[in-house]
């Protein structure tokens, strides 16, 4: 009897491994087939989708795509929402409403809501669940439900080279300069100068940089050592596989 039980357990484990492998391979195929690129846009007809740009599958809510322009080599994670206009089917005019520069990264579950113009500069990276919006609810009339009152809209501009941490929010009217760091969970409004670090809700500047003084307050960690020029991806993989004793 114990021998039969062990045989049954081995068959069950083998069956589970086989099914799991098939499901994983099938899901990988679905992800590749469902991704949106310039060559394979599917049902989405963006105003522009640049070379090398990819929207991972499954996509989030996407509408107003004729007024959305995506630069080259952008990475749009799974379940990312990209919308232009307050609802589908509107004529938003001749100019794009939402623009992403080259090399923009939007992490999984992020939302970019552009009821009026939203611009994200080249090589800006956003972590998961970042929320960028040009629209906010109004509550001027105390006798009407907030959701039924006409919202306020202000353009949003995020400069090139920024980094927005997980769960950061950028509110209507915000203007971020070049190479701004937004801490995870920060809520940004108003103007942020170039080369600043902001944190908190509402976000405030906690560190700045200039040519004369460098970072103030000074950074507490040493500068990372850059990868030497000429190092190939294969060499980096080989280093990653080394054990501590071999390094």
Structure tokens at 56: 């991972």
Pairing of strands 152-153, 135-136: antiparallel
Cross-strand pairs, 36: 55
Q: Give me the sign of the Cα torsion angle 210, 222, 159, 188.
A: negative
* 120, two tokens: 């994200």
- Tell me if residue 137 is catalytic: yes
From the list 100, 109, 189, the residue with the least C-alpha distance to 152 is 189
Report the DSSP beta bridge partners of residue 126. 106, 164
Euclidean distance between CA atoms 46 and 22, whole angstroms: 34
- Options 51, 137, 143, 195, the catalytic residue: 137
Terminal Cα distance for the chain, rounded: 51
Cβ burial 124-139 (10 Å sphere, 16+ → b, else e): bbbbbbbbbbbbeeee
d(CA 16, CA 2): 21
Q: Answer yes or no: are the C-beta atoms of 55 and 76 closer than 8 Å.
A: yes
Q: Which residues are catalytic?
A: 137
């Amino acid at each position: 009897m114990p021998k039969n039980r062990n045989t049954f357990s081995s068959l069950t484990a083998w069956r589970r491994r086989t099914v799991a492998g098939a499901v994983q391979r099938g899901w990988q195929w679905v992800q590749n087939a469902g991704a949106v690129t310039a060559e394979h846009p599917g049902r989405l007809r963006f105003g522009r989708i640049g070379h090398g740009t990819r929207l991972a599958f499954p996509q989030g809510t996407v509408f107003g795509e004729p007024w959305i322009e995506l630069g080259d080599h952008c990475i749009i994670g799974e379940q990312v929402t990209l919308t232009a206009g307050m609802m589908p089917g509107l004529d938003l005019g001749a100019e794009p409403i939402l623009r992403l520069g080259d090399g923009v990264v939007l992490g999984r579950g992020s939302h970019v809501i552009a009821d009026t113009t939203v611009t994200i500069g080249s090589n800006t990276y956003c972590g998961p669940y970042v929320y960028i919006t040009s629209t906010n609810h109004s509550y001027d009339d105390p006798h009407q439900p907030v959701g039924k009152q006409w919202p306020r809209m202000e353009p949003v501009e995020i400069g090139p080279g920024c980094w927005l941490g997980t769960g950061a929010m950028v509110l209507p009217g915000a203007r971020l300069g070049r190479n701004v760091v937004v801490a995870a969970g920060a809520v940004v409004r108003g103007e942020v100068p170039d080369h600043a670090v902001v944190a908190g809700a509402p976000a405030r500047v906690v560190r700045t940089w200039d040519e004369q003084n460098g970072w103030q307050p000074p950074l507490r960690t040493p500068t990372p050592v850059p990868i030497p020029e000429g190092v190939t991806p294969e060499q980096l993989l080989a280093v990653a596989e080394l054990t501590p004793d071999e390094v």
